[in-house]
Amino acid sequence: MPQPLLTLTTRLPNTHRRILLSLLLLSLMILFWPTSSKPEKPLLTLMPVLLSASWAQLEPEHGWQLQVQQWQLVLFPEPEPEVDESLSHYAIQSGDSLSRIFSRHGFSQQQLHQIMAADQSLLALDVLRPGHTLTFQRDEHNELLSMELFIHAGNRVLFQREADGEFSYQELLDEGEWYSQTLVGEIHGSFYLSAQRAGLNDAEIATVSQLFRDRVNFSRDIQAGARFQVVRSDNYVGEEATGQSRIEGIRLFNRRQQLTAFLHDNGQYYDAEGNSLQRAFMRIPLQREFRISSAFNPRRLHPVTRRVSPHNGTDFATPTGTPVLAAADGVVIRVENHPFAGRYIEIQHHGQYKTRYLHLDRALVRNGQRVERGQRIALSGATGRVTGPHLHYELHVNNRPVNPMTANIPLAQPIPDEGRDAFFEKVAFMIRQMDEETLLAQQR
């Protein structure tokens, strides 16, 4: 690359070079010297861009760029953050309960109850895990004014005290970006261990084996040395990984068979020919139809407070003891007790689907268990705050509740015409990525 200034300076005698560069530095300083007495924030953010542009001609090894950056820090220091006495942060430890955290912070059990009431339709506070943080804000009487739950960079929930003393919630979601990587490997011993060695986590391995379950028996039919290729993407908000991941595509070469699965934009998996790999979802997670006693309504008003209190599911008037069925294949990710939602179960399905079953009398599955479509998972009941026995059923797509009675659910049909071409383009692209990565791995 031509570097005229550098070439010029290296040809000059040392003294001249120093003078020339000092002049350059001086003019840069004048150029960026703040015009007002108070350095404005936009200037601070603008400067590194301008600097790097004007210094791009020079080799960074000369260290001047670094020096200018240091001067810049001295000249325009970042303002000291103001300490807000009313705020306190708490990092969740393993085994923590919200009740214990509240009493340690001097908040009343009544306020805990109000927060739990606000969380009834979200159920975000039931699964506090190490890595999550809580930020509390107090009022002048040391009582809770607001609480923010930080789950990951793309998911925060803000609970705020309203004028009537009750809490409202606001979910702050940021979809962020997905970055993919290709993982390849061979199966020696169990598929589970081989996939784990290649870098897949438990949920991803469960997805793969459930997607191919009807086509291959992983414990019996896999030949030693069978190859697999996986495109997995990880979610980032800014620079921060949110810990969410998903399988975009997989190919498995076993004996003379090639198994494929690719994730479409509609959240469902199809093979490379566009055939559905998912069994149809059940529209209603019950053996027969029951009267709908309350419909899905994201803008329902609370009868007393008149505040928006969304009804994120469909209520079926089931008498206590009615068998509740898993709407589709998946893994149980929660079996919890909540003062308002009662005993409830959450299932993670393939792609971007989740289902919840509330106010249960009894759960018949445990956390982490794999379940099949139509499997009995619970008996309905009237636990939590209810006016009578019923099943409250929720369907979430991409972490957002949708109307379970009208939403597009996997129907085990070939890929729809809409988005079909884009799907096959994506598949071709992923297959190239997979083959390249396999070649690279073989050369290592």
Q: Which of residues 359-398 bind Zn ion (CB under 5 A)?
A: 392
Cβ closest to Zn ion, residue 392 vs residue 426: 392
Site mask, Zn ion, residues 261-300, x = CB under 5 A?
----------------------------------------
Residue placing its CB nearer to Zn ion in the complex, 119 or 315: 315
Nearest distance, CB of residue 168 and Zn ion, angstroms = 19
Query: Which C-beta is closer to Zn ion: that of 104 or that of 400?
Result: 400
Stretch that binds Zn ion, among 147-155, 243-251, 315-323, 374-382 (CB under 5 A): 315-323
Residue 315 vs 329, nearer CB to Zn ion: 315
Min dist. Cβ of residue 171 to Zn ion (A): 18
For the bound state, the minimum distance from the C-beta of residue 353 to Zn ion, rounded and expressed in Å, comes to 19
> SS3 for the chain, per residue?
CCCHHHHHHHHCCHHHHHHHHHHHHHHHHHHHCCCCCCCCHHHHHHHHHHHHHHHCCCCHHHCHHHHHHHHHHHHCCCCCCCCCCCEEEEECCCCCCHHHHHHHCCCCHHHHHHHHHHHHHCCCHHHCCECEEEEEEECCCCCEEEEEEEEECCEEEEEEECCCCCEEEEEEECCCEEEEEEEEEEECCCHHHHHHHHCCCHHHHHHHHHHCCCCCCCCCCCCCCEEEEEEEEEEEECCEEEEEEEEEEEEEEECCEEEEEEECCCCCEECCCCCECCCCCCCCCCCCCCCEEECCECCCECCCCCCECCECCEEECCCCCCEEECCCCEEEEEEEEECCCEEEEEEECCCCEEEEEEEEEEECCCCCCEECCCCEEEEEECCCCCCCCEEEEEEEECCEEECCCCCCCCCCCCCCCCCHHHHHHHHHHHHHHHHHHHHHHHHC
Q: How many chain residues interact with Zn ion (CB under 5 A)?
A: 2
Q: Considering the complex, what minimum distance in angstroms separates the CB of residue 239 from Zn ion? A: 39
**Cβ proximity to Zn ion, 269 vs 296, nearer residue:** 296
Residue 97 CB, nearest distance to Zn ion (Å)?
25
Q: Which residues in 63-102 contact Zn ion (CB under 5 A)?
A: none
In the complex with Zn ion, the residue whose CB is nearer, 295 or 364, is 295
338 binds Zn ion (CB under 5 A): no
Q: Which of 315, 329, 346, 361 binds Zn ion (CB under 5 A)?
A: 315
| CB-closest chain residue to Zn ion | 392
**Positions that interact with Zn ion (CB under 5 A):** 315, 392
